[in-house]
């Protein structure tokens, strides 16, 4: 097979595929017919509003893990909502994906009749709000399934260039057979689906059938293609990582009211601090955060919002502010932390006595001595 003929195929599945088969999917057979990449439906809708269950997600993803899949995706059916709704949708998808160890995600943007009947079909503005919600925190890469017919009929203002990473569109070829046979019959890497623009951007993923007879799945399986190797596909997926950063090195930020300067951390991951959180124990959590940052060689703590700023009040620096000091002392205990105003005052002290590299927009707090 020549270089321009290399392609990587994968399937995306939901409980419907499980129901059609009437038994767990056979991921070894599926991998032999496609590749070591897969995606399964994890969530649908708003957890606090209109939503649908996604049974068998864990069974399918963990089955693929046992079959040694290289990359396991989790997808979410997007619905219309405000910014708060899209943050809930993003957080829900991430939570479910994390439970099974998924390493990439996909937004499934559809015009389902049940969404239309409820006024909840996603508009282009919803896509952008969900994108912004996903990128508001360090998360796994996001990809996009956006059929051209949805764009042409319901999203006249869509611009695929605003969706970095893998962009998949559907143009079904008809026919049946194995995933590879259907793809080849549809023209393979020269098939017409590669020529369908999504709001000015050509797709780099093509869902070329919803009716492949995939061994290990069913005779009505969604199949997707990428023109390149699996490693090149993974590189394309990773382009959907916020700011081009790896998820382990996303900096946090601290914004102090009335200030226009931002200091960034030297590589401490916000998600790592989240993993240390113990609900109801803010002081203990804060102290753990200091220890974690120090173990990673961090010199400063930087946080993304006012809520995180308030949490600093339970840290050692907060207790030291209460006692009039600026360093030393033992770890904080519940109820002994500084108020947000006291923390802000300590921030001012830190800035006045340290020289920190600046990035336009907030302040950083140095850990106690």
CATH number at residue 230: 3.20.20.80
Confidence of residue 267 (pLDDT cuts 50, 70, 90): very low
- Asked if residue 368 is part of any domain, the answer here is no
Alpha carbons within 13 A on the beta-carbon side of 35: 25
pLDDT digits (tens, 9 = 90+) for 28-41: 999 999 999 999 99
Is residue 51 included in any domain, yes or no? yes
366 assigned to some structural domain: no
* Within-domain flag for 369: no
Tokens of 2: 């020549």
Query: 199 with 82, same domain?
Result: yes
Would you say how long the chain is, in residues? 369
Q: Do 233 and 313 share a structural domain? A: no
Q: Residue 155's pLDDT is what?
A: 94
109 and 12 inside one domain: yes
* Model confidence at 59: pLDDT above 50: yes
Q: How far apart are CA 11 and CA 30, in angstroms?
A: 8
pLDDT, tens digit, for every residue of 317-358?
322 322 222 222 222 222 334 454 554 555 455 445 444 444
Helix ranges restricted to H, the chain:
15-21, 27-33, 57-66, 83-100, 113-117, 124-135, 148-154, 179-185, 230-238, 270-275, 282-295, 306-311, 316-322, 340-353
Q: Is residue 321 part of a domain?
A: yes
User: Above 70 in pLDDT, residue 170?
Assistant: yes
Q: Are residues 201 and 321 in the same domain?
A: no
Identify the domain boundary among 207, 228, 244.
244
CA distance 202 to 187: 17
Parent domain of 158: 3-244
pTM score above 0.85: no
192 and 270 together in one domain: no
The answer to whether residues 147 and 268 belong to one domain is no
Q: Are residues 239 and 256 in the same domain?
A: no
Q: Mind listing the pLDDT tens digit for each residue in 195-239?
A: 989 888 999 999 999 999 999 999 999 999 999 999 999 989 988
Q: What residues contact 332, with CB distance under 8 A and at least 6 apart?
A: 283, 284, 286, 287, 314, 315, 316, 318, 319
Decide the pairing of beta strands 359-360 and 261-262. antiparallel
Instruction: Note every long-range contact of 91-94, with CB atoms under 8 Å and residues 24 or more positions apart, other chains counting.
Output: 92/43, 92/46, 92/47, 93/42, 93/43, 94/137, 94/139, 94/140
The residue among 243 and 117 whose pLDDT is bigger is 117
pLDDT at residue 313 greater than cutoff 50:
no
According to DSSP, residue 167 is labeled: E
Separation between Cα atoms, residue 368 and residue 256, nearest integer Å = 19
Number of domains present in the structure of the chain: 2
Q: 257 with 310, same domain?
A: yes
Per-residue pLDDT reduced to its tens digit, 113-140: 999 999 999 999 999 999 989 988 878 9
| Residue 218 CB-half CA count within 13 A | 19
Give the strand pairing for 221-226 and 8-13. Answer: antiparallel
Q: Show which of 228, 244, 260 is a domain's final residue.
A: 244
């Amino acid at each position: 097979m020549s270089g321009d003929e290399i392609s990587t195929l994968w399937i995306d599945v939901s409980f419907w595929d499980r129901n059609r088969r009437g038994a767990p999917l056979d991921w070894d057979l599926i991998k032999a017919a496609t590749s070591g990449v897969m995606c399964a439906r994890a969530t649908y809708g708003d957890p606090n509003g209109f939503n649908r269950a996604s049974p068998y997600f864990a069974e399918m993803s963990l089955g693929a893990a046992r079959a040694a899949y290289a990359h396991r995706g989790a997808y979410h059916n997007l619905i219309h909502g405000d910014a708060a709704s899209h943050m809930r949708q993003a957080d829900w998808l991430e939570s479910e994906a994390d439970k099974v160890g998924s390493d990439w995600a996909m937004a499934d943007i559809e015009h389902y009749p049940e969404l239309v009947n409820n006024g909840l079909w996603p508009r282009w503005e919803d896509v952008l709000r969900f994108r912004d919600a996903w990128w508001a925190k360090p998360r796994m890469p996001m990809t996009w399934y956006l059929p051209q017919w949805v764009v042409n009929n319901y999203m006249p203002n869509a611009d695929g260039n605003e969706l970095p990473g893998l962009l998949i569109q559907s143009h079904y070829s008809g026919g049946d057979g194995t995933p590879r046979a259907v793809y080849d019959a549809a023209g393979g890497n020269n098939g017409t689906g590669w020529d369908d623009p999504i709001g000015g951007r050509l797709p780099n993923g093509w869902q070329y059938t919803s009716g492949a007879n995939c061994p290990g799945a069913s005779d009505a399986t969604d199949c997707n293609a990428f023109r390149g190797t699996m490693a090149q596909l993974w590189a394309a997926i990773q382009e959907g990582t916020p700011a081009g950063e790896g998820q382990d090195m996303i900096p946090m930020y601290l914004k102090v009211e009335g200030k226009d300067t931002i200091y960034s951390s030297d590589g401490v991951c916000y998600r790592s601090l989240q993993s240390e959180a113990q609900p109801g124990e803010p002081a203990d959590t804060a102290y753990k955060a200091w220890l974690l940052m120090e173990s990673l060689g961090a010199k400063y703590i930087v946080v993304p919002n006012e809520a995180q700023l308030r949490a600093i009040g339970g840290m050692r620096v907060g207790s030291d502010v209460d006692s009039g000091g600026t360093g030393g002392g033992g770890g904080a205990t519940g109820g002994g932390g500084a108020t947000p105003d006291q923390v802000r005052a300590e921030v001012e002290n830190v800035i006045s006595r340290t020289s920190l590299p600046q990035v336009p927009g907030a302040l950083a707090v140095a850990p106690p001595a």
